[in-house]
Structure 1
Amino acid sequence: MLKLKLTLSAFLLLAVSVSFAQSTLTLHTDQAETKINKEIYGHFAEHLGRCIYGGIYVGENSDISNTRGFRDDVIVALQEMDIPVLRWPGGCFGDTYHWKDGIGPKDERPSMVNIHWGGVTEDNSFGTHEFLDFCEIIGAEPYININVGSGTVREASEWVEYVTSSNVSPMTDLRKKNGREEPWDVKYWGIGNENWGCGGNMTPEYYADLYNRFASYCGGAQYKIAGGPNVADYNWMEVLMQKTMRHPHLVQGVSLHAYTFTTAWEDKGHATDFGEKEWISVLNNTLNMETLVNRHSTIMDKYDPAKRVGLIVDEWGNWFNVEEGTNPGFLYQQNTLRDALVAGINLNIFNNHADRVKMSNIAQTVNVLQSVILTKEDEMVLTPTYYVFKMYSVHQDATLIPANLKTDKYELDGKSVPTVHASASTKNGVVSITMCNLNPNKSETIEIEITGNDFASANGQIITSDKMNNYNDFGKQETVSLKDFEVAKPKNGKLTVELPSKSVVLVQLQ
Structure 2
Amino acid sequence: LECEPYICGNVGSGTVQELADWIEYITFPKGTPMSDWRIQNGKQEPWDLTYVGVGNESWGCGGNMTPEYYADLYKRYQTYVREFAGQTIYKIACGANSNDVNWTKVLMERAAPWMDGLSLHYYTVPGTWEKKGSATEFDEDEWFITLKKAYEMERLVVDHGEIMDRYDPDKRIGMIIDEWGTWYDPEPGTNPGFLYQQNTLRDALVCALHFHIFHRHCQRIHMANIAQTVNVLQAMVLTEDEKMLLTPTYHVFHMFQVHQEEEALEVEFVSTPYERSGEKIPQVSVSASRSSDKMHISFCHLNPHEQNEVSLAIEGLDAETKVTGRVLTADRMNAHNTFDDPHAVQPAEFQQFAVKPGELTIELPPMSVVMITIDLA
Fold similarity call, TM over 0.5 = yes
- Which stretch has the larger CA shift, 352-361 or 265-274? 265-274
What is the CA-CA distance between 1:487 and the residue it aligns to?
5.1
**Aligned counterpart, 1:217:** 80
Alignment of 1:69-80 (within 5 A): none
- Name which of 264, 277, 280 aligns with 2:141: 277
**Aligned counterpart, 2:359:** 494
Alpha-carbon distance between aligned partners in 2 of 1:163 and 1:477, rounded to the nearest angstrom: 39
**Aligned counterpart, 1:234:** 101
> In 1, are the aligned partners of 2:305 and 2:366 still within 8 Å (CA)?
yes
Alpha-carbon distance between aligned partners in 1 of 2:317 and 2:59, rounded to the nearest angstrom: 48
**Aligned counterpart, 1:147:** 10
What is the CA-CA distance between 1:180 and the residue it aligns to?
1.2
Alpha-carbon distance between aligned partners in 2 of 1:219 and 1:253, rounded to the nearest angstrom: 17
What is the CA-CA distance between 1:448 and the residue it aligns to?
1.4
Partner AA of 2:50 in structure 1: K
Alpha-carbon distance between aligned partners in 2 of 1:486 and 1:313, rounded to the nearest angstrom: 34
The one-character-per-residue Cα deviations of 1:423-460 (angstroms, maximum 9, x if unpaired) are 11112321111110010000111101123676811111
Alpha-carbon distance between aligned partners in 2 of 1:352 and 1:251, rounded to the nearest angstrom: 23
> In 1, are the aligned partners of 2:246 and 2:342 still within 8 Å (CA)?
no
> In 2, are the aligned partners of 1:450 and 1:493 still within 8 Å (CA)?
yes
Alpha-carbon distance between aligned partners in 2 of 1:361 and 1:457, rounded to the nearest angstrom: 34
Alpha-carbon distance between aligned partners in 2 of 1:428 and 1:366, rounded to the nearest angstrom: 34
What is the CA-CA distance between 1:477 and the residue it aligns to?
4.6
Partner AA of 1:289 in structure 2: M
What is the CA-CA distance between 1:297 and the residue it aligns to?
0.2
What is the CA-CA distance between 1:178 and the residue it aligns to?
1.2
The one-character-per-residue Cα deviations of 1:225-258 (angstroms, maximum 9, x if unpaired) are 000000110010000111112xx1x210000000
The one-character-per-residue Cα deviations of 1:138-196 (angstroms, maximum 9, x if unpaired) are 21111111111111111111111211222532222111111111111111111100000
> Aligned-residue CA RMSD in angstroms?
1.4
> In 2, are the aligned partners of 1:253 and 1:311 still within 8 Å (CA)?
yes
| 1:453/1:400 CA distance change after superposition, 3 Å | farther
Alignment of 1:202-213 (within 5 A): 202-213=65-76
**Aligned counterpart, 1:422:** 286
**Aligned counterpart, 2:190:** 326
**Aligned counterpart, 1:301:** 165
Alignment of 1:36-115 (within 5 A): none
> In 1, are the aligned partners of 2:352 and 2:364 still within 8 Å (CA)?
no
Name the SS of the counterpart of 1:416 in structure 2: strand
The one-character-per-residue Cα deviations of 1:298-341 (angstroms, maximum 9, x if unpaired) are 00000100000000000000000111111111111100000000
> In 2, are the aligned partners of 1:417 and 1:438 still within 8 Å (CA)?
no
**Aligned counterpart, 1:157:** 20
What is the CA-CA distance between 1:265 and the residue it aligns to?
2.1
Alpha-carbon distance between aligned partners in 1 of 2:168 and 2:287, rounded to the nearest angstrom: 26
Name the SS of the counterpart of 1:227 in structure 2: strand
Matched, 1:372 2:372: no
| 1:477/1:228 CA distance change after superposition, 3 Å | closer
**Aligned counterpart, 1:463:** 328
Partner AA of 1:460 in structure 2: G
Using structure 1 for the length normalisation, give the TM-score. Answer: 0.71
**Aligned counterpart, 1:444:** 308
5+ long unaligned stretches in structure 1 = 1-137
**Aligned counterpart, 1:9:** none
Alpha-carbon distance between aligned partners in 2 of 1:426 and 1:266, rounded to the nearest angstrom: 43
Alpha-carbon distance between aligned partners in 2 of 1:487 and 1:413, rounded to the nearest angstrom: 31
**Aligned counterpart, 1:381:** 245
> In 2, are the aligned partners of 1:460 and 1:486 still within 8 Å (CA)?
yes
Name the SS of the counterpart of 2:158 in structure 1: helix
**Aligned counterpart, 2:224:** 360
Partner AA of 2:206 in structure 1: V
**Aligned counterpart, 2:201:** 337
5+ long unaligned stretches in structure 2 = none
- Which stretch has the larger CA shift, 215-224 or 292-301? 215-224
> In 2, are the aligned partners of 1:456 and 1:489 still within 8 Å (CA)?
no
| 1:495/1:192 CA distance change after superposition, 3 Å | same
